[in-house]
Structure 1
Amino acid sequence: MQTALAIRPLKSLALFLASLFALCLSAPSWAFQTRIVSIPSAAMHRAFDATVVLPDDYDARGSGSARYPVIYVLHGSGGSYADWTSNTRIGKLADHYHVMLVMPDGGHESWYIDSPFDSSSQYETYVGTEVVSYIDAHFRTLASRQTRAITGLSMGGFGALRIALDHPQAFGAAGSISGAVDPRNCEDEPGIDRVFGNPARHADFWTRNAIVEGAGSFEHAHIALTIDCGVDDSFVQSNRVLHDKLIALGVPHDYAERPGGHTWSYWSNAIRYQVLFFATSFKQNGWHPNAQQA
């Protein structure tokens, strides 16, 4: 009787350990870290939250000395710094490619420009200069244009390309997902005239900032460029116009149209291809994820 009583707990323990082992094997191995930081803006006299995703080996590799490339990912109109992590599994891409991901807050309708019509909306300076400086000062980044990229969706796609063109010393790669590359098609967007001005009285400002009109700026910018848009997206035609102009100018770039519309389903799929593109660009510039870079 005593022997039988002793065997039962051992069998139960063995079954428990086997179940626990199987559970560990089936659980996702992603161990990225997500942090919310407050980044001050001297240009706008306030601070904004941002999401920072660190790869799982950020605190392990090289006793905390390894440095990482950074990809800045911008949200769309009406969104916030939390959009990408709330609606996609973007964090696992930091683990897979050994990169940092930074998602700053760009306001609800800032279009990531320094607005001459609203002094409180200076988001190009904020994202293109102040956020980059803060991240480089507070995290172990590879602080060079060759290992820094920027992309975004919709309004954020416009902003990413605009900022990359205006800050070529900061970003060596840029992308746009479902980008509003011609804001003149968005005149009815609530609040857009607050930063762009009245479209009738300030048509030249709208035109000057439209990415489709400034395609020639990419000719000598030496930016690794990737653009994609869903075939059912209302912005697909303006993206095709930009693509055709870049081809005519001989500007190297990746361009893709995939099934889908202006939805998180499309964006969560598209970001995987863009991060792969950027990681490839970083490697072509000499970075290797297994190298210890100080």
Structure 2
Amino acid sequence: MAKSSKLTLLFLFFCPILLLAKIDTIEVFSKAMNKSLKATVVLPSDSEVKDKDYPSVYVLHGAWGGYLDWHKNVTKPNLLQNLADQYQMILITPGVAPFSYYYDSPLMDSVQYETYISKELIPFVDQNYPTKKDKNARGITGLSMGGHGAMMIAAKHPDLFSAAGSMSGVMNIDVRTWIGNESTQEERRKSQREMLGNINYDYPYSPYTAVGLISEMKENKIALLIDCGIDDFLIETNRQLHQLLLENGTPHEYTERPGAHTWEYWTEALPFHILFIHQAFEKKK
């Protein structure tokens, strides 16, 4: 045997191949909307050999996005797989319509994403994967529109989650609180009218927006993490929610740091969110 071949065999013997977390793509039929939607499920690399259940975290995408965003757009390769292994948890990335904000529309049967996440996707994942079927081992977070979805769904379904987070989230869907992008803002207002009709954008805020759910956030006692870049066009909506939570005495973590509405920011933010949610799980043990 050649010397180089012997060295290769020795290296493989003493340095086992590192396995990445497993990624499944699933398709879940929504009875509420009469359509199927895709999601990815990221499992720890040892999930097939270990007879155990894992906590789960739902990681939501933003507007114009899809279920593969957290795999394709992050600036660090294999970010979700590495986090799933590091914290021994299952990460789920659902896909929804571009400007749905994860709410249930009172006007459109095709926009029932709160029901989809809370009553269709979670039961499907729990039935088909080794998750801990317990709110104390389930979390949710997301970016931009997904940050709104995570905070809203957690506030309205405290029986499902023990921790929720938002990265650069649309904490108020009222486009008057956004900075710049006037043409985009008008498009969003138009789509909101189509899905929600006439809602109250002023105090007392509509329950279709995160700032309208601060009473639920206080009552539910779910661990909350909110962060936003100081150069983000949504910074004022995050500051608004932060101030409202301070005023009503809701415990939460709030961070502003350098950054804008970019994948560089969200790539750096996600590990902090997973750590925060992991620590919330540990406190509930």
- Residue identity in the other structure for 2:125: I
Match of 2:37 among 41, 48, 51: 48
1:269–1:83 CA distance, 2 compared to 1 (3 A): same
User: Is 1:80–2:66 an aligned residue pair?
Assistant: yes
Q: Distance between the aligned counterparts of 2:201 and 2:110, measured in 1? A: 18
Conserved? CA contact 1:109–1:192, under 8 Å? no
- Which deviates the most, 112-121 or 67-76? 112-121
User: Is 1:59–2:70 an aligned residue pair?
Assistant: no
Q: Distance between the aligned counterparts of 1:205 and 1:184, measured in 2? A: 6
Match of 1:95 in 2: 85
Conserved? CA contact 1:196–1:205, under 8 Å? no
Conserved? CA contact 2:156–2:216, under 8 Å? no
Residues 1-294 of structure 1 aligned to structure 2 (within 5 Å): 9-17=1-9, 29-61=18-50, 65-88=51-74, 89-185=79-175, 188=185, 190=187, 193-197=190-194, 202-204=198-200, 207-208=205-206, 209-286=208-285
Which consecutive unaligned segments of at least 5 residues does structure 1 have? 1-8, 287-294
Match of 2:181 in 1: none
Paired-residue identity, %: 38
CA apart distance, 1:33: 0.2
CA apart distance, 1:192: 5.4
- Residue identity in the other structure for 1:190: E
Q: How many residues are matched?
A: 271
Q: For residue 108 of structure 1, give the secondary structure of its aligned residue in structure 2.
A: coil
- Residue identity in the other structure for 2:136: Q
Q: Distance between the aligned counterparts of 1:30 and 1:52, measured in 2? A: 16
Q: CA RMSD in A?
A: 2.2
Task: Output one character per residue of 1:110-134: Cα deviation in whole Å (capped at 9) or x when no partner.
Answer: 1101111222111110012110111
CA apart distance, 1:205: 6.8
- Residue identity in the other structure for 1:14: K
Q: Distance between the aligned counterparts of 1:99 and 1:159, measured in 2? A: 21
Conserved? CA contact 2:25–2:39, under 8 Å? yes
1:119–1:10 CA distance, 2 compared to 1 (3 A): closer
Conserved? CA contact 1:118–1:194, under 8 Å? no
1:16–1:177 CA distance, 2 compared to 1 (3 A): same
Task: Output one character per residue of 1:182-235: Cα deviation in whole Å (capped at 9) or x when no partner.
Answer: 110267263553344489x71327830222233222111111111111111011
Which consecutive unaligned segments of at least 5 residues does structure 2 have? 179-183
Question: Normalised by the size of structure 2, how large is the TM-score?
Answer: 0.88
Conserved? CA contact 1:121–1:195, under 8 Å? no
1:20–1:281 CA distance, 2 compared to 1 (3 A): same
Q: For residue 204 of structure 1, give the secondary structure of its aligned residue in structure 2.
A: coil
- Residue identity in the other structure for 1:125: T
1:137–1:15 CA distance, 2 compared to 1 (3 A): closer
